[in-house]
Amino acid sequence: MNVRAQREVQVAIVDDDSRIRESLSNLVEAAGYICAVFQSAEAFLLSPALVRARCLITDVRMPNMDGIELQRRLKKQRLDLPVIFITAHEDDIAEKRALAEGAVCFLHKPFSSSELLKCIGRVLVN
């Protein structure tokens, strides 16, 4: 976990690809947000950042627990954490399920930095 997670985490990033985690965290931090990064949904669920985060960016498809299952678990724990999904897969069913479960954005890779930052901004303004 990123050391900055000791403070108020504004954005948690969960992705199994280290390159994606790094590029997302660089973008998010350059925009002035504090972020914490995790290589798995399980690691995020065990972290103190779980209750500190104000927004979650995660991939739909990951080994073990996927992003949609993570979203369900958060809801089960009554954690009202806005979720932004990113994916490289054209999966209309997953997109519909994620949005029906309450995801705030569903972005297809490649997406623009401004697109992602706009989603984060909408979430953190509320």
Give residue 112's pLDDT.
92
Give residue 126's pLDDT.
60
pLDDT along the chain (126 residues), means of 10: 53 93 94 93 90 89 85 85 85 79 86 93 80
Q: Strand locations in 1-126, DSSP E?
A: 11-14, 35-38, 56-59, 83-87, 105-108
Q: For the chain, which domains are there?
A: 3-125 (3.40.50.2300)
Give residue 5's pLDDT.
39
In this prediction the pTM is 0.86
